[in-house]
């Protein structure tokens, strides 16, 4: 087992040693078993799209086969592989969103699926042009809006409704370049068709189709996912929470909720609050029921309820290795198929719940909108009854946790800005003007969205934390989501006290607005909140997003969803920095398209940079160049 990458996280090292003692296998053992990873795959030049293949072409021009059996070049193969990652990512985010909309479609006053943010329901309904959005009966309106949202997935004509939010220069670019996304399912289907054997071979055309598909994620699926989750479960407000494996409580029944979709997790939280269940836990010798979150389900639940954050992607195994988890409950995405076998080394029950993500090896309890709360009750009961099976000799919970602030939806950020406006100026409230003012005045130099996963190709969490620390030191405010946000929480960057790590300008802003310098904006689907925030700044100044001093960063990304995100962020006019190099280098042409040429038509590009410090230097140059061009 190699611990080499984990020096940053001493706690992880201790738990990995425990895993070895317990005879439990982890991702690090499997990473070592992979030995050297395939160079063709790494360069993106392996194709297995048809059964004449697999074909691998040379990543170095002039050396070895230059074309696959059908004649596809490295450019075509790389572009197709990349595009199919966009399709995979878009479908994951958007299908998650569809489940939220279905829950809203099934919502009723007597719950458990009910409307919790009625103001937002009416606001979005009015935005989408529903008549009498302010007076219609709540659930009639919710069902009508849900029906409209379902059409965004499959409507035969027109583009995504949320595009109309955009600043007009950006919208014009999307229309001019034909990347304004149509129905989400249509974009994914068209892309799969375009990249079938013998279809598109022009790498630029494939890239553009990929970007349009990703745009249907950012401005379609993800935005629907966020807005409709807020309507159903409440729009997040700033609140305290706690992070890292030390939030697991040895005296309580610990339930780990892991995955992405808030539908299941909301029901589990509800079921665990049931006094009868708490009594049962006490009867089994526990002090109560402790729910801890991981990955984006964790983010959704901490944003709305302050549920404690057990950790991010790479901690999913460590969590079980503590020996103190009664049940690991999962829905969809980013769940290691290795977990059930790992759980068996301990007393932990592993429960998968989604038809789309049935994970074999332990329990499967199918969750549905019709029976949501009953399913959750059954799950919580299994966890509680399992407490007596815990083996005290195997329990080792690291004594590490860090206080954190969470819950910064766009609405919550504006609310904080308003408090400053109210006491200091005569500006109108409810806008991002105080934010654009401090950016334009140079008090802060710009803004960065730091997002994405963990990946053993980067030192775990270190790239996230280094990038954020360096940026705030240089007066760049950060917003964060996904596993990056959890890395920030564990490193103390989401506390109000983190202002002490900032440059002078950002520190003053944090003090006046009473916010941390790094703001937790939610799950990866909630990167739509970041789009929304940047777009509000663009609207405030009436300039194209591409002119603003803002960047997107994914220091440790790994998933197809992250590829889709990077594409829609670039498509939205925001330069995007990737700390893990995507599998495209086998095509110098396609690489140049991403890192240079797309600037010409979309006004933004990708930057690949593994070293977080060098990356921050590049980002600062980028932000300052934007400032100079704006004359600020
Ligand atoms: Ni995002 Fe969230 Fe984490 Fe990466 Fe996975 S949990 S949707 S994909 S690993 S940030
Ligand atoms: Fe080979 Fe072409 Fe088939 Fe790909 S599509 S596997 S390059 S023959």
CA separation for the pair 90, 261 (Å, rounded): 15
| pLDDT at site 128 | 98
88 token code pair: 């995979």
- Quick check: is 549 in a domain? yes
**Average pLDDT across the chain, whole number:** 96
Q: Are residues 201 and 305 in the same domain?
A: no
Number of structural domains the chain divides into: 3
- Quick check: is 112 in a domain? yes
* Residue 179 confidence (pLDDT) above 90: yes
What number does the ligand 1 atom closest to the CA of 557 have? 4
Spell out where 372-526 has E strands.
402-406, 446-450, 476-481, 518-522
| pLDDT at site 427 | 65
| pLDDT at site 3 | 41
Q: Are residues 300 and 153 in the same domain?
A: no
Residue 48 CA to ligand 2 centre (angstroms): 6
| pLDDT at site 10 | 73
- Which ligand sits closest to the CA of 297? 1
Q: Which of 343, 362, 394 is the last residue of a domain?
A: 394
| pLDDT at site 429 | 80
The pLDDT tens digits of the residues spanning 192-207 come to 999 999 999 999 999 9
Residue 481 CA to ligand 1 centre (angstroms): 9
CA separation for the pair 311, 309 (Å, rounded): 5
Q: Are residues 436 and 563 in the same domain?
A: yes
What number does the ligand 1 atom closest to the CA of 93 have? 7
Q: How confident is the model at residue 369 (pLDDT cuts 50, 70, 90)?
A: confident
400 token code pair: 């590490």
The pLDDT tens digits of the residues spanning 61-99 come to 778 899 999 999 999 999 999 999 999 999 999 999 999
H or E stretch at 578? strand 575-578
- What average pLDDT score do residues 353-376 get? 95
Residue 477 region by backbone torsions, left for phi larger than 0, else alpha for psi between -120 and 50, else beta: beta
- Quick check: is 51 in a domain? no
- Which ligand sits closest to the CA of 73? 2
Kindly report the pTM of this predicted structure.
0.97
- Quick check: is 565 in a domain? yes
Q: How confident is the model at residue 423 (pLDDT cuts 50, 70, 90)?
A: low
CATH number of the domain residue 86 falls in:
1.20.1270.30
The pLDDT tens digits of the residues spanning 526-551 come to 999 999 999 999 999 999 999 999 99
State how beta strands 55-56 and 46-47 pair.
antiparallel
In DSSP terms, which residues pair with 395 in a beta bridge? none
Q: Are residues 332 and 442 in the same domain?
A: no
Q: Are residues 157 and 223 in the same domain?
A: yes
| Protein residue with least CA distance to atom 4, ligand 1 | 453
479, 127, 262, 565: CA torsion to nearest 10: -50
* Residue 261 confidence (pLDDT) above 60: yes
Contact 610, 556 (CB under 8 A): no
CA separation for the pair 433, 426 (Å, rounded): 12
| pLDDT at site 228 | 98
Specify the range with the lowest mean pLDDT, choosing from 109-118, 168-177, 278-287, 440-449. Answer: 109-118
What number does the ligand 1 atom closest to the CA of 481 have? 10
H or E stretch at 299? helix 295-305
Q: Are residues 359 and 419 in the same domain?
A: no
CATH number of the domain residue 567 falls in:
3.40.50.2030
Domain range for 219 is 74-233
Q: Are residues 426 and 575 in the same domain?
A: yes
- Quick check: is 25 in a domain? no
| pLDDT at site 63 | 84
Residue 55 CA to ligand 2 centre (angstroms): 6
217: DSSP letter? I
Q: Identify which of 70, 73, 77 to mutate to test ligand 2's pocket (most ligand atoms within 8 A of the CB).
A: 70
- Quick check: is 267 in a domain? yes
| pLDDT at site 1 | 36
**Measured distance between the N- and C-terminal CA atoms of the chain, rounded to whole angstroms:** 52
Q: Are residues 302 and 254 in the same domain?
A: yes
Q: Which of 394, 426, 449 is the last residue of a domain?
A: 394
Q: Which of 345, 376, 394 is the last residue of a domain?
A: 394
* Residue 159 confidence (pLDDT) above 50: yes
Q: Are residues 273 and 195 in the same domain?
A: no
92 Cβ inside 6 Å of ligand 1: no
Count of all residues that appear for the chain in the document = 632
| pLDDT at site 291 | 98
* Residue 564 confidence (pLDDT) above 60: yes
Q: What percent of the chain has pLDDT over 70?
A: 97
- What average pLDDT score do residues 438-443 get? 97
Q: Are residues 418 and 357 in the same domain?
A: no
- Quick check: is 187 in a domain? yes
- What average pLDDT score do residues 345-356 get? 97
Identify the CA nearest to 577 among candidates 544, 527, 617: 617
Q: Are residues 604 and 457 in the same domain?
A: yes
| Protein residue with least CA distance to atom 7, ligand 1 | 524
| pLDDT at site 12 | 83
Residues 6+ apart with CB under 8 A from 4: none
| Protein residue with least CA distance to atom 3, ligand 2 | 50
Q: Identify which of 44, 69, 193, 196 to mutate to test ligand 2's pocket (most ligand atoms within 8 A of the CB).
A: 69
* Residue 426 confidence (pLDDT) above 80: no
Q: Are residues 411 and 388 in the same domain?
A: no
- Quick check: is 136 in a domain? yes
């Amino acid at each position: 087992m190699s611990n080499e990458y984990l020096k940053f996280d001493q706690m992880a090292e201790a738990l990995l040693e425990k895993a070895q003692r317990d005879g439990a296998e982890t991702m690090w053992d499997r990473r070592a078993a992979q030995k050297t990873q395939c160079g063709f795959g790494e360069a993106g030049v392996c194709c297995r799209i048809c059964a004449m293949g697999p074909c691998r072409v040379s990543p170095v021009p002039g050396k070895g086969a230059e074309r696959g059996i059908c004649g596809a070049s490295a450019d075509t193969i790389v572009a197709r592989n990349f595009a199919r990652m966009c399709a995979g990512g878009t479908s994951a985010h958007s299908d998650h969103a569809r489940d939220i909309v279905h829950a809203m479609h099934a919502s009723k006053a007597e719950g458990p699926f009910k409307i919790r943010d009625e103001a937002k329901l009416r606001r979005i309904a009015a935005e989408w042009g529903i008549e009498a959005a302010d007076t219609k009966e709540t659930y009639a309106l919710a069902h009508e809006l849900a029906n409209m949202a379902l059409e965004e997935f499959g409507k035969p004509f027109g583009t995504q409704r949320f595009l109309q939010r955009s600043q007009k220069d950006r919208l014009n670019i999307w229309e001019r370049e034909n990347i304004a996304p149509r129905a989400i399912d249509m974009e994914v289907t068209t892309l799969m068709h375009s990249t079938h054997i013998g279809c598109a071979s022009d790498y630029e055309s494939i890239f553009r189709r990929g970007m349009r598909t990703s745009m249907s994620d950012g401005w379609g699926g993800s935005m629907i996912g966020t807005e409709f989750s807020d309507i159903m479960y409440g729009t997040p407000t700033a609140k305290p929470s706690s992070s890292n494996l030390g939030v697991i409580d040895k005296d309580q029944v610990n339930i780990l909720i892991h995955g992405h979709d808030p539908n299941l997790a909301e029901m589990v939280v509800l079921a665990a609050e049931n006094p009868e269940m708490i009594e049962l836990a006490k009867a089994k010798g526990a002090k109560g029921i402790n729910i801890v979150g991981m990955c984006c389900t964790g983010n959704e639940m901490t944003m709305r309820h302050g549920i404690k954050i057990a950790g991010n992607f790479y901690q999913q195994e460590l969590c079980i290795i503590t020996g103190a988890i009664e049940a690991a409950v999962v829905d969809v995405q980013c769940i290691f198929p290795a977990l059930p076998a790992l759980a068996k080394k301990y007393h932990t029950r592993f429960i998968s719940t989604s038809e789309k993500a049935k994970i074999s090896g332990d329990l499967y309890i199918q969750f549905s909108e019709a029976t949501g709360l009953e399913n959750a009750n059954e799950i919580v009961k299994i966890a509680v009854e399992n407490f007596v099976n815990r083996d005290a000799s195997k329990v080792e919970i690291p004594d590490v946790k860090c206080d954190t602030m969470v819950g910064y939806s766009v609405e919550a950020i504006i609310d904080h800005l308003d408090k400053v406006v109210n006491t200091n100026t005569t500006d109108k409230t409810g806008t991002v003007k105080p934010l654009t003012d401090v950016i334009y005045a140079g008090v802060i130099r710009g803004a960065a969205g730091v997002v994405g996963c963990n990946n053993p190709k980067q030192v775990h969490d270190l790239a996230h934390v280094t990038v954020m620390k360096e940026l705030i030191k240089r007066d760049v405010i950060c917003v964060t989501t996904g596993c990056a946000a959890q890395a920030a929480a564990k490193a103390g960057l989401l506390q109000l006290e983190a202002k002490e790590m900032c440059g002078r300008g950002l520190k003053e802003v944090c003090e006046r607005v009473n916010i941390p310098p790094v703001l937790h904006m939610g799950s990866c689907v909630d990167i739509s909140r970041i789009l929304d925030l940047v777009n509000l700044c663009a609207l405030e100044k009436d300039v194209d997003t591409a002119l603003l001093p803002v960047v997107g960063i994914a220091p440790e990304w790994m998933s197809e969803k992250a590829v889709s995100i990077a594409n829609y962020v670039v498509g939205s006019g925001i330069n995007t920095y990737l700390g893990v190099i995507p599998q495209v280098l086998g095509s110098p042409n396609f690489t140049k398209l991403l890192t240079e040429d797309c600037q010409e038509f979309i006004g933004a590009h990708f930057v690949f940079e593994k070293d977080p410090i060098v990356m921050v230097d590049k980002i600062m140059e980028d932000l300052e160049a934007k400032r100079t061009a704006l004359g600020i």
